Amino acid sequence: MKHIFYLLLSFLFSLQVVAFETVTEPIKTFQDSGAITTSVTFSPDGRYVLSGSFDNTVKLWDVNTGELIRSFEGHPDLLYAVAFSPDGHYVLSAGGDYTIGNDYTIRLWDVNTGEFIRSFEGHSSSVDSVTFSPNGHYVLSGSRDTTMKLWNVNTGELIRSFEGHFNWVTSVAFSPDGRYVLSGSGDYTIKLWDVNTGELIRSFPSFEGHSGWVLSVAFSPDGHYVLSGSDDMTMKLWDINTGELIHSFEGHSGLVWSVAFSPDGHYVLSGSWDNTIRLWDVNTGELIRSLEGHSAWVYSVAFSPDGHYVLSGSIDGTMKLWRTKSGESPVAHFPLSTPITVKMVLNQKRYTTDDPLLLDMVLTGTANVDLYVAVVYPSGSFQTISYPFVLSTQNAIQPYQTNMTHSGQKSFSIMNFPLPNGIPKGQYSTCGVLVSAGNKQPEDIANWIHYDCSTFEVY
């Protein structure tokens, strides 16, 4: 039997080689009311999904069973946007039919009870996009009235209105640190704003970028890049500091309505009116997978919190759940939600030997586990790490910590030092794997509870 980290290695590095794959069968299809599904998202713990549709309702679903848990009803008009709060306790919904001027409110709901809490009122046309700030204290909305607005979650008070677009604001996003916001518009531009002052910092103009409406925008997980989708049938990647265009992702035959970054920032997702969802490599701009199963336009796409799954919503009235990796990979063996998860967090993605490498491992959930941590080298060999920092011999499997009872969320500092001189240049991976405490076969993928890997380059 191959060792556990050899399997991981072959899996991870297979993603470096472009092998364009078409997938036509999703894991699961959530059959909505048949109305157009306009917005979908995962809960922060990955156990639930949320949908908004043209039947004027928000629906909460169980990821594992596909069952409808709860409907949030009260909007008199079409829904265009839904969002989970960072703690998963609340949801937002927004929409409105601008042709009849009926309801342009944003509504806040309690996830557990389905109770309506409050509305945010101030837009004068349909609201196409909503999101929470990273700390959950604020709501951001974009509207066809050409404005973006910032609201206080607890009071419903309007804090600030961002004005500068001359067409619909179709999409909005918060930076990961909560200091900046993005807006995409029908005026072909993306604008970056300061949250505290409302000042416009940068505009990504049409003569350098999109030749059509900007329909979706997203920040990269590290906040350094911006992703945008447009009715010019392209998705584009931008440098946040310079405004420079880095990549243009081309290949869709319909407008790109929804875009998303993977949680590790290595991949991007596009949903299009050519009925497909496409997974791309951020660094090369090359297409990895095309997910083809919807019978009509794709309106909304989202990554699961662990990056292993993709959710899509379509005008065909369904949501579909897909795997991001090949069905033959270890990911295929994992349940869609777990009692405990691991996340490997690096301070950067590229290092010289002068740069300090900071690696944290974050556990979230409740379980009794044995924990394994490994560094995979460019050559294909690996070493495991034992607490506090003892490297194993080459290709030996030693636990980082055993019989650990964990509850809640805790961060472990795995590395915090400059890379040694003479370390080989190339692509590395750091991986954390959780297995049930006392398990005697950690090399067997069937015994894994959860895993996460983060890659970095030494140059």
Q: Average pLDDT, stretch 44-69?
A: 90
Q: Which of 298, 333, 368 is the last residue of a domain?
A: 333
Q: Which of 310, 333, 356 is the last residue of a domain?
A: 333
Q: Which of 292, 311, 333 is the last residue of a domain?
A: 333
Looking at the structure, do residues 254 and 138 belong to the same domain, yes or no?
A: yes
Say which range, 190-204, 242-256, 401-415, has the weakest mean pLDDT: 401-415
Looking at the structure, do residues 323 and 442 belong to the same domain, yes or no?
A: no
Looking at the structure, do residues 244 and 357 belong to the same domain, yes or no?
A: no
What's this model's pTM, rounded to 2 decimal places? Answer: 0.71
Looking at the structure, do residues 358 and 393 belong to the same domain, yes or no?
A: yes
- What's the number of domains the chain is made of? 2
pLDDT of amino acid 332 = 33
Looking at the structure, do residues 348 and 287 belong to the same domain, yes or no?
A: no
Alpha carbons within 13 A on the beta-carbon side of 395 = 8
Q: Average pLDDT, stretch 87-109?
A: 86
pLDDT of amino acid 343 = 83
pLDDT band for position 169 (cuts 50, 70, 90): very high
Task: Examine the pLDDT at 47 and tell me if it is beyond 80.
Answer: yes
**Which residue type sits at 120?**
F
Query: Is position 86 within any domain?
Result: yes
Q: What is the pLDDT of residues 379-438, one digit of tens each?
A: 777 888 888 788 888 788 888 989 888 788 888 888 888 887 778 888 788 888 888 888
Looking at the structure, do residues 428 and 308 belong to the same domain, yes or no?
A: no
Looking at the structure, do residues 30 and 167 belong to the same domain, yes or no?
A: yes
Query: Is position 8 within any domain?
Result: no
What is the Cα–Cα distance from 56 to 99, expressed in whole angstroms? 16
Say which range, 6-15, 208-217, 250-259, 281-290, has the weakest mean pLDDT: 6-15
Query: Is position 9 within any domain?
Result: no
Instruction: CATH number of the domain at 386, please.
Output: 2.60.40.10
Query: Is position 29 within any domain?
Result: yes
Looking at the structure, do residues 211 and 351 belong to the same domain, yes or no?
A: no
Looking at the structure, do residues 347 and 319 belong to the same domain, yes or no?
A: no
Query: Is position 417 within any domain?
Result: yes
The domain of 102 spans 18-333
Contacts 24+ apart (CB under 8 A), 272-281: 272/233, 272/297, 272/298, 273/297, 273/298, 275/314, 276/252, 277/301, 277/310, 277/312, 277/322, 278/249, 278/251, 278/252, 279/310, 279/324, 280/235, 280/249, 281/15, 281/18
Looking at the structure, do residues 346 and 317 belong to the same domain, yes or no?
A: no
CA distances from 109 to 61, 143, 372, 440 (A): 15, 20, 40, 46
Q: What is the pLDDT of residues 17-39, one digit of tens each?
A: 344 688 888 888 987 666 788 99
Query: Is position 270 within any domain?
Result: yes
pLDDT of amino acid 312 = 95
CA distances from 234 to 98, 183, 240, 442 (A): 27, 17, 19, 44
